[in-house]
Structures are given as structure tokens and as C-alpha cells.
């Protein structure tokens, strides 16, 4: 009796599977697929304490050129759609400071600049976002950048000292870019 029930059940399943509806598969949908991931990265981090700024006196207390190779790879350069560079500046010193960031090409020509006039503490953290692509500055600036120059200038005095513990200037930068993969 068990075998008869099992056979009837098996035949019913086989008939059900054979008579069920199924759509033909369309594997050409891959051609319509568009993948645009967002890639995030830190660009640079700069920090200087108040003692170093005082030691340098008025004028430049920091100047450095960083290599920027994010767009050297042809795949990235050709497929970037747009992006945003975010700068965040925090000053807990008693100094009024200027920070200049220059994007340089292979010949040292300035392609783009960002300038920050930083007030002494207590000052709010300054955040600035710069768009590149259709809604902002040209992507060619980033595609042709090979170096980034960061310069910090003390516009204030060279003697005052903050009462805060470990007073310093901090500059952070990060970027998010959207790439077209297909």
C-alpha cells in the first residue's frame, strides 16, 4: 500500500512539473546592466601643533607636496563619472591661519586651488565639499593632477599659547567618486 501511494504521489509530481508554466530565460539583459559604484578614499591628513607654528614664526609653518596618483590608471580616468572632495579643518590653537591646497599637473602648473582662512579657537569645525563632474568643477582637473601641494601660513602672532591641552590645527580630506563599470 505504501508503494502504491508513493508511486501515485511521484507520478503526480512529475506530471505537475512537466505541465507547469515557465518563461524563457532572457540572457541579453546583461547588455542593459549599468553598474556605477561609489569609491571612497582618504586623500591626505595634516596636523601641526601650536608649538611648531610658534617656532616657525609668522608666515609659512608648513609646506609639502604629495603625489596624487588616483587618476593615473586609464580605467579610473576614463570611467569616473563625478565625485566630491570633502575637506574638514579643525583649529584649537590661538592662531589665525591660512591653508592653501593646490592641484598641480606634471609640469607644476596649478590646475585648481582651495583656500581656507581659519579663525583662532574657539572656532567651529569647518567642512567644505567640492563637486567635480557635471554638477561641479571639471573632472579634467583631477585627471591631470599629479601632485597636491599643501601650505599653512601663520597670519597671527608667534608667541601666544592656547590654554587647551594639545592645541593643534588638523586638516582632513577625503573623496568619493562614482565610476561607470558597464
All domains of the chain, ordered by start, with CATH? 42-179 (2.60.120.1540)
20: left (phi > 0), else alpha (psi -120 to 50), else beta?
beta
Lowest mean pLDDT among 13-17, 43-47, 115-119: 13-17
Residue 22 confidence (pLDDT) above 70 = no
Continuous H helices in 20-169: 50-56, 74-79, 139-143
Residue 16 confidence (pLDDT) above 80 = no
Confirm if 145 and 61 have CB atoms less than 8 A apart: no
Q: What is the tens place of the pLDDT at every residue in 61-82?
A: 999 998 988 877 777 778 888 8
pTM over 0.85? The answer is no
pLDDT band at residue 91 using 50, 70 and 90 as cut-offs: very high
Q: What is the tens place of the pLDDT at every residue in 136-151?
A: 999 899 889 999 999 9
Residue 30 confidence (pLDDT) above 60 = no
Amino acid at each position: 500500500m505504501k508503494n502504491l501511494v508513493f508511486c501515485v504521489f511521484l507520478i503526480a509530481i512529475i506530471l505537475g512539473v512537466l505541465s507547469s508554466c515557465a518563461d524563457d530565460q532572457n540572457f541579453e539583459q546583461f547588455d542593459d546592466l549599468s553598474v556605477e559604484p561609489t569609491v571612497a578614499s582618504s586623500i591626505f591628513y595634516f596636523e601641526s601643533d601650536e608649538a611648531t607654528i610658534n617656532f616657525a614664526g609668522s608666515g609659512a609653518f608648513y609646506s609639502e607636496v604629495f603625489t596624487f596618483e588616483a587618476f593615473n590608471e586609464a580605467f579610473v580616468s576614463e570611467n569616473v563619472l563625478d565625485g566630491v572632495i570633502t575637506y574638514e579643518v579643525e583649529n584649537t590653537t590661538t592662531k589665525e591661519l591660512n591653508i592653501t591646497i593646490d592641484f598641480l599637473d606634471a609640469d607644476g602648473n596649478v590646475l585648481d586651488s582651495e583656500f581656507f582662512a581659519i579663525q583662532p579657537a574657539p572656532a567651529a569645525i569647518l567642512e567644505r565639499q567640492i563637486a567635480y563632474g557635471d554638477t561641479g568643477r571639471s573632472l579634467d582637473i583631477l585627471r591631470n593632477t599629479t601632485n597636491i601641494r599643501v601650505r599653512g601660513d601663520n597670519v597671527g602672532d608667534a608667541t601666544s599659547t592656547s590654554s587647551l591641552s594639545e592645541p593643534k590645527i588638523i586638516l582632513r580630506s577625503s573623496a568619493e567618486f562614482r565610476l561607470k563599470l558597464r
